[in-house]
Amino acid sequence: MLELKETNPDVYNKFSSGLFVIRRSDRFWAGLPSDLVIEQALMRTIKTTGGLTRGRGMEEKQRTRWLLAMPACADINESMQELTGATYSTSDQHKDLFVARKERDHKDTYEIFQYLNDYNPFVSEEGALHSVATGVTASASCNPHEARKVGEAILDKMMGQNAFDFVFRRKEQIERMGLKQLVVDGEKLKIDPQLLFQRLLILANNSDYSLDDLLKYELSAQPTALFDKHGLLRQANKPQLADALPSTSSNEGQQTRDSKPVYNVLDGCSLLHRFPWKRGETFDSIASTYVKYVNTFANPIVVFDGYETDSSTKYLTHLRRSKGAVGPQVFFTGSMALKSKKEHFLGNVQNKQKFINFLSEKLQTQGIKTLHCKGDADLLIALTGVKCAKIGATHVIGEDTDLLVLLCHHAEEDMDELTFRSDKAVKPDKNTKIREWQINALQTSLGEKLCYLLPIIHAIGGCDTTSRLYGIGKGLPLKKAMSNTSFAKQLEQVLDCSTREEMKTSGEKVLVELYGGKNTESLDSLRIRKFKDKVVRCASSVEIQNLPPTLDAGQYHIYRAFYQAKCWMSKDEDCALRAVDWGWQDLQGKLMPRTMDCQPAPDNILKLIMCQCKGDCSTNRCSCRKQGLKCTNACSECRGDACSNSTAIDVTEDDTDL
C-alpha cells in the first residue's frame, strides 16, 4: 500500500477519491470499509433469525441454496418496502450537524471547560506530576513515565543469567502515585531491647566486666527509659498534669466587667480536629462548617500552627499523631471534592499548611482575625490570650495542656479575667467532662515561684518534644515541686545554668530525685541499686525500661527539657537558642533527638553478638540488624565489611527481595 502510488497509479487515484469504501445507500456519510460492511451486513444477515446458521446447517448444498436465494429475497424485501411506504429518505447531512446534537455538544464542551477550571492540569507546584481528577501530587521519586527505561534496565540486568536464579529487587520497581505509609509502629527496624539486655548480661558473665561496670551502659540500642522500641520519644500523658493542678471554678476570681468586650482566642490546631470530614464533600463546604462555628464566638481570634518546614522538634510528634499514614500532596481548590480520609489528607504537612491558608482566607472574609505561627503556636496563643485579657475578659479555647501551663506562666496581675476552656466545654454532651480553669485563681493558688517553674516541670515530665520518663507520672514533678523546696531549687538551678556541664550536674540531681534516689547518689549508681533491688524483690524478670537512664542518656533529656522550657518562657515566638545545641541533631533536614554518646555495651561484648547470614545482611533475618546493631568482624560470613549492615556502608533503601 505504501508503494501503491508508483506501482498502480490508477488504483491509487481511486483510493484517494474515496472509492476504498463500500456504499450500500446514497447517503453522504454511508461509506464504510469492507471489513465493517462484512460485520454489519453479511455476518448480521447470516446470524439473525432466518439466517444461514439458524436451523439450516452449514453443508455445501445449504450454503449454495442460501446464497442463490439472497437476490430473490432482496427483491421481495424492496417490493415490500415500496408497498408499505417504509423507505429510507436520504440526506447529505450528518447526524452530528443537527441542531439538537450541536446543543448537546456545546453543553458537554462547557462542562469540560468548567471541570478543567477546577481541576487544572497545567498548574502544579514545582512542575510535579499530579492527578487531574483528585489533585494528588506525585512525589519526586514517582516514575511511571519512565517505565520503558526501568524495564530495559531490568532486561539488561537479566542478560546472561539463569531465569530461575534471577531475583527482582523492590527498589527496581516502578513507584506509582498514591498513598504512602510511613511505618512507625511496624517492622521497619525491629529492635527488642529486652532480648538484647538479657543477651548482654549473659555474655558479660564470661567477660572482664563486673555487673556494676556493665550497668553503666544502656545495654540497648536506644535508652529504653526515654525511647520506645521503635526509636520514638516515649509519649507523655499530658492531661495528668492538668489533673494534678488545683481545681478552680470559672466563677472565682475577678468578675467580668460588662463595659469591656469579651475575647475568644481559639487554638487553630484543635479547631481543625473539631469536625469530621465526609468523603465527596467540597473544600468550600468543609471550610464553611468551621467559619459557621467560629462565628458563634464573640470577637474570635484563631491562631494557627505553621507546617512550612520539617526542621521542627515536633516532627516525630506529627508522625506519631498521623499513625504513620501520610497521604500524598494534593493540589486542591474550593470546589474540588475530598477524595481521601481526613487523617490521610492532614497527615501530609504540605496539605495541612495549604488547608490552613485556605481556611484562614475564608475566616478573614467574614471579619475574623487569624494569626499564623512559623512553627508550634502554643506560645503565640498564650501570649495573645494574655494580651487580650489586659483589655477585657478572655477565654482561651483549646485541648492542649501546654496552653494551660503557658497561661499560668505568662499571666499578669493587672489583667482581666482569663479562662482556659476545653473545646468540648462550649457545647458539652451529657457524658462530657467539662474542663475549665480560671487562670487568675489558679495562679494565686500555685504562687509566683511555682508558676515560674511550670514550663520546666512540664518539659522534664514529658511533652510533645521531650520524652516521658518510663514509670514516672506527669503529676509527680509538680507534686514534688509543691512539697519539696529542695527539688524546686534544683529546677531553678537547671534554668539558671550558664554552661552545659552545670546543667548536666543539676539535671542529674533532678532525675535522681524523680526516681526516688538519695541526694548523695549519682544516676548510674541509682541505676545499679534499682536493678539489684528489683532482682531481689520482683517475682518476674527485670525489664530494662524500668531502670533509670544512664547519665550519658539522661543528660540529653535534660538538655531537651531546658530548650523547650526556655522557648516557652520567651516573650517572642522566635527562640534565641538553637535546637541542635540542646539534645537535637539535624538528619537530612529533620530534627531528631540525640540518644547517647557511648556504645550500648563495651566493644568486646558487642563483638560477641554476631550473625551467621549467608546473604548481605539486608533484612531483619540478620540478628545484628534486628537488634539495631552493626555487623562486626566477629560475624561468621560478612565479617562486618562485606554486607549492607556494616559501618562502612550506609544503606538507605530497602533491598528486600520481592
Please report, for the domain that includes residue 363, its CATH number.
3.40.50
Instruction: Give the tens place of pLDDT for each residue, 43-82.
Output: 777 777 777 777 667 788 888 888 888 888 888 888 888 8
Query: Does the pTM exceed 0.85?
Result: no
- Evaluate whether residue 213 is within a structural domain: yes
Distance CA 620, CA 610 (A): 14
Q: Residue 657 — pLDDT band, cuts 50, 70, 90?
A: very low
Q: Are residue 221 and residue 285 in the same domain, yes or no?
A: no
More confident residue, 9 or 134: 9
Q: Are residue 447 and residue 359 in the same domain, yes or no?
A: yes
Q: Are residue 229 and residue 253 in the same domain, yes or no?
A: no
Q: What is the mean pLDDT of the chain?
A: 80
Nearest-10 crossing angle of helices 475-483, 448-461: 150
Domain count, the chain: 5
Q: Are residue 401 and residue 308 in the same domain, yes or no?
A: yes
- Evaluate whether residue 655 is within a structural domain: yes
- Evaluate whether residue 211 is within a structural domain: yes
pLDDT for res 178: 53
Q: Residue 605 — pLDDT band, cuts 50, 70, 90?
A: low
The domain boundary residue, chosen from 82, 115, 135: 82
494 φψ region: left (φ > 0), alpha (ψ -120 to 50), beta (else): alpha
pLDDT for res 291: 95
Q: Are residue 420 and residue 441 in the same domain, yes or no?
A: yes
* pLDDT over 70 at 327, yes or no: no
Bridge partner list, 145: none
What would the DSSP string read from start to end of 40-60?
A: IIIHHHHHSTTSTTTTS---H
- Evaluate whether residue 279 is within a structural domain: yes
- Evaluate whether residue 278 is within a structural domain: yes
Distance CA 184, CA 323 (A): 7
- Evaluate whether residue 464 is within a structural domain: no
What residues make up the domain containing 60? 21-82
Return the residue matching grid coordinates 557511648.
598
* pLDDT over 70 at 640, yes or no: no
What would the DSSP string read from start to end of 190-253?
A: ---HHHHHHHHHHHHTTSS--HHHHTTS--SSS-TTTB-TTSPBPPP-THHHHHHSPP--TTSS
Residue 301, classed as helix, strand or coil, is strand
Q: Are residue 294 and residue 416 in the same domain, yes or no?
A: yes
* pLDDT over 50 at 652, yes or no: no
Amino acid at the residue 184: V
Residue 367, classed as helix, strand or coil, is coil
The domain boundary residue, chosen from 82, 110, 127: 82
Q: Are residue 396 and residue 411 in the same domain, yes or no?
A: yes
Distance CA 527, CA 45 (A): 95
How many of the other CB atoms lie within 10 Å of CB of 640?
20
Q: Are residue 277 and residue 396 in the same domain, yes or no?
A: yes
Distance CA 187, CA 626 (A): 10
Q: Are residue 317 and residue 385 in the same domain, yes or no?
A: yes
Instruction: Give the tens place of pLDDT for each residue, 87-96.
Output: 666 555 566 7
Q: Are residue 291 and residue 436 in the same domain, yes or no?
A: yes
- Evaluate whether residue 463 is within a structural domain: no
C-alpha cell at 122: 497545567
Q: Are residue 287 and residue 167 in the same domain, yes or no?
A: no
Nearest-10 crossing angle of helices 378-389, 401-410: 50
- Evaluate whether residue 395 is within a structural domain: yes
The domain boundary residue, chosen from 82, 101, 134: 82
At 230, phi and psi to the nearest 5?
-95, 5
Q: Are residue 298 and residue 439 in the same domain, yes or no?
A: yes
C-alpha cell at 257: 466587667
Distance CA 44, CA 362 (A): 62
